[in-house]
Structure 1
Amino acid sequence: MMDATVADPLIGQVLDGRYRIESRIARGGMATVYLARDTRLDRVVAIKVMHAGLATDEEFVRRFIGEAKAAAALSNPNVVAVYDQGTDGEHVFLVMEYVRGRTLRDVLSERGRLGPRAALEIMQPVLAALGAAHRAGLVHRDVKPENVLITEDGQAKVADFGLARAETASGMTKTGMIIGTVGYLAPEQVLSGSADVRSDVYAAGTMLFELLTGELPHQGDTPLAVAYKHVNDAVPAPSTWVPGLPHRLDVLVLRATAREPGHRPQDANAMLAEVAEVCAGLPRDFDARMGTAMPPPGGRTSVLPAPGMAPPGDSRTRVFDARTAPSNLAPPPPRRTASDRAIGALTGRYVLIAIGALAAVILGWAVWYQTSGQYDHVPEQIIGMRVADARNQLEQGGLDVRVAEPVFNDRVAKGQVASTAPGPGARITEGSTITLTPSKGRTPRDVPDVAGKTEAEARRILRGKGFTPGQVSKATSQQVAKDRVMRTDPRAGTSQSPDEPVDIVVSSGMSMPSLVGRNGQEAENQLRGMGLDVKVEKRKQDGRRPGAVISQDPEPGTGVSRGDEVTLVVNERDCFFREFFCDDGDRGDGERIPVPNVMGQPLDQARKALRDSGFDVKIGSRFGNRVVGQNPVGGEAPRGSEITIWG
């Protein structure tokens, strides 16, 4: 059979005039990964080249490029860096950091499972990488051991951000991809195909279960059977598969893999905090004590179960390092003489008597403890529950519950339990008092100033600062242009928790007055004083007073902004000798008209508004581009008189 490297036509080619393909690393369901050299920077890189079928799918390529850009923006030492993305002829490719090492799947295949501390220590950098993506609004969608790379110096890095979304968008079926991923799919991904940051949390919790037990929690003969279990069956506690695992690990895994997304940690950063807390509570030699210390590479040296694990013959029996085996399993016992056996029998009789007496004491103490001295533990899953639900559960357990004043908490949503006293896991006796402290939401921060922005821009800015845009209302304004934000509620600079919505007030502009029937010249002057661009049309209409407004556009009450064009239709006068047959009030000789207030406007705009209103304009001293002084300000002045403004 011809060597794959020799047969691959890309070997030896230079993509985009820069990346020389040197060898093939791996081939997957959607791409082939090559080792290459960046000839421009003279460094080794990994290049993922999309398969031809995907490269011709325009929707896939569009999504792929967008997600690649988002992934390239991530700056975290635990994320496989994305350097470049490009197209060379029929080849769509992604240039990434080349990681020397192996995948977490390789580690699991070699060692079976990991000890609790080892598993938690690997999960922390994985969650840190996912947390960086979640802060950037990016969802991985395909968290699994195959996408976690372990470098030669033991550092964990997460790869393939965004590729799962791009492939899903392509609408193409890839059975290999489905089979490889279905074991980690969150229920909402199975039911609707949608995924958010909490779907990544579910996959991370499933992966932690696998690290602790060596098996996926849901298994079946077909991908459909596995998907069905994700939707309908809860993930079991890891300690039911590996006896001896700490209770806090069970709580951690069960919270992360809750079938309801709202019951999980709200993102990878929240889960990271919980993982770090549990890990800090385990002694450094905990794995060695359990007999599950990670064996050396290639070193499955015994099939004897470690202490506290399943007995021989159990389907969940795990291998362990012979160096951690109890000493009484190592050397064979020496041969014994008859006298040795006699002494041993006598000694054994006394030992049995002593053991029996000790057992009776222990039994009596246990009976007393379960009747007179009964105790319980503060449930760890209370944190994050709704206060009413937590109270009900604790009171049903015979505890006296008190609720303290709410506090701000960045990890627990508003209305949920932020802390307890005594703390989770603490021993308490029946009838004891436990105090619940609710969360009143995330720590307050200043509401940003979005005045003058469009509604869409304001929403984007608020979300960028962690706030949720609330209701949008309209109000008239002489100063703020139509469809621009006037203010927020609460106002900019006010300190508020991001859990509370920020309402937006948008300007509907100035309200167009009702002018029909008014003197046309007066109506025109009023509109110009509002900063509007007035167009006057003449039309003859019998039965109406000459010179009066007979129609207007826009209609009364319509929102308008400075600079908008409005049209007045004025009834044309029917007179030949204006000075004899027209009313003096309509002549305009020496007429006084309103003076627009242009304070604060740009000088050019203010000058135009005054001239359009019928005045001459003089600009006095000028130190800036906006009007800081005006004479006269408002009131009325003769048409054609001079108005002075200063900048």
Structure 2
Amino acid sequence: MATVTTDPFVGRLVDGRYEVVSKIARGGMATVYLALDRRLDREVALKVMHPHLAEGSDGAEFVSRFRREARAAAGLTHAGVVAVYDQGIDGETSYLTMEYVPGTTLRHVLQDERALAVGRTLELLEEILDALAAAHRKGLVHRDVKPENVLIDSSGHVKVADFGLARAVTEAASTATSTILGTVAYLGPELITSGRCDARTDVYAVGVMAYEMLTGRLPYTGETPLQVAFQHVNSDVPPPSDVEPWLPAELDVLVCALAARTPDDRPVDAGAALTLVRQTRAALDPAVLDRRSVPASSGTAGAVGTAGTDRKSPDSGATAVLASVAAVGAATAGASRAAVDRQAGSPAPAQPDSTPTTVLTGIGPASTAHLVTTSAQGDGVQHTLAMSRGDLAVDGPDDGTPSPRSRRRRAGWWWFVVVLFLAGAAVGASWWFLSGPGAYTAVPGNLVGATQAEAETTLRAVDLRSTVKEAYDDSFPAGTVISTDPPAGGKVRKDGAVNLLVSLGVKMLDVPTGLVGTTADSATAALEAAGFEVGDPVEDYSDNMPAGDVLAVSVPEGSSQPHSTVVQLTVSQGPAPVTVPQVVGLEKEAALKALTDLGLDPSSTDDYSETVAAGLVISQTPENGSEGHRGDKVALVVSLGPPLVEIPNTYGRNVTEAEKMLKDAGFVVEVRHPQGISPLNIVYAQSPEGGAGKTAPKGSTVVVNVF
């Protein structure tokens, strides 16, 4: 798509999230920009509502409807519908964020090619109607179907845009100004005259687009929109072969059925219209699918690869007029009437040379015979030959009295006419009941939501059979009918079959087992393989599980859960962090308890200390204030008190010598004279006793008795 970058809105950051990159297009309701979603790092289409629509007494109601319809459009999940991601208000700016579809629009394709090949036209119609059918099943009417809203991506597939917003604008405009918004070239007559519309209004717009794709022009043109609207209301959309005579009758029937002036003459919704398109494709000669109109400025028309010739009747004054009576599936009586009632004198499509079969179908009050000519090749195409009374008469006398020969000739002609009339009546009745409208009946309208047994009983009551397919569905209980093909009101051959799509209920999925204890990546892969969506994980500390392993699952392992369940994993961060406390100087038991209470794993060894009393902690590893985690080991050294040393034996030694020996061994010496002071100063006793194997704590007191 061509982009315009001169808009002052370009470069703005909307709602703190969407960075406007460039302008894509501007319409009567909003401007569309290419933007970057900074949060999700993806390109989006940002649709900004024109500020003036939110002004005045009706502005608040318009914004409310804008938001409500945006939510309705976001509920459409279909590959052919442009997805709605978000909606919001930033200051005075109301916006939608939608899927960005790089490519082009059907309008640009038509501007470049003017008309499309028949096969390509039918392919686009099928994709457009398939997308609209998804909306119609949700009760949402587009209301502004036009080539500008049909996006064609880079792979050639269709995405329909602007669901919901068109409805909001239409309601607001109708309330405020009694004006109908929409592109007048594609508006249904009922929307113009009364403002009311339903799914059939979208079908009408698709019919007009089909005419435009096949012929390269619109069915109605005028100098003003009012002139075009007047034609929509007062005229039937002409068959496309009026301007492109080579187009087959099946396409006339299709276009006139989709774009019938009366809503009751159209397919009931896009689903029924899609069935009609597919039946039309099946009825066409494959050689026609590659042909394409080549509209010329002079008004002449032709088809690529073939000559559009005008075939005249061999009878003087007679002109062949195409009658669109090909039996095409669910085509309505209104569509057939529109195709048959053409202006006499239109050129007939070129047909293969063959011997025609001619049957009289009626005589008008002015003695005009209408002859139906059917190709002998059985291609199903019929032509009407209008012959005036003068074409059948013979010359008579000047006085007006027919001669006997003239009377016999005229009688012969009338007998011929009568025979043709009777034969035509028989053929017409046979066609009516075998291939025409009389061969079809309407699908009952009370099947969706009924149980399978109830639906089959209802169909048998009207002599219809049923085929059943099953599918999971979140809305319809198991055993009830989700949809029918054809849909309610659609046409099906009498004693034919209606396809029932029966609900299996909510799809249930089995939660894998063995998730707890595995890595988060492994558990996520197992859940996704089972069909579940996995939410953002919850993290928690664990003394037992390594970081990254699953601690818990939000649903029971091995249980059965709805497919829409979002499963959440609790993932381990490993042990919690902890600061190592100071325990040096504490008694051993108190130190061990303080460390254990914090989740640490303490251990202790004993050692002698001349400075720390026995039973107290001498040192710790790691030291006080160190950062660790629960479960970390802390090593303690607990004092045994001073070391034990051998006590020297001082018996019989001079007190001075004995005192020196004890002090050198690390003892404190206390000298006593129990018998008084003596000049000998000999040790005769000590406590504790000394000698080999006799020990005492270093620094303890040894008493010696001297005489």
TM-score, normalised via structure 2 length: 0.46
Q: TM-score, normalised by structure 1?
A: 0.50
Please say which structure displays the higher CA radius of gyration: 2
Q: Which structure has the highest helix share of the two?
A: 1
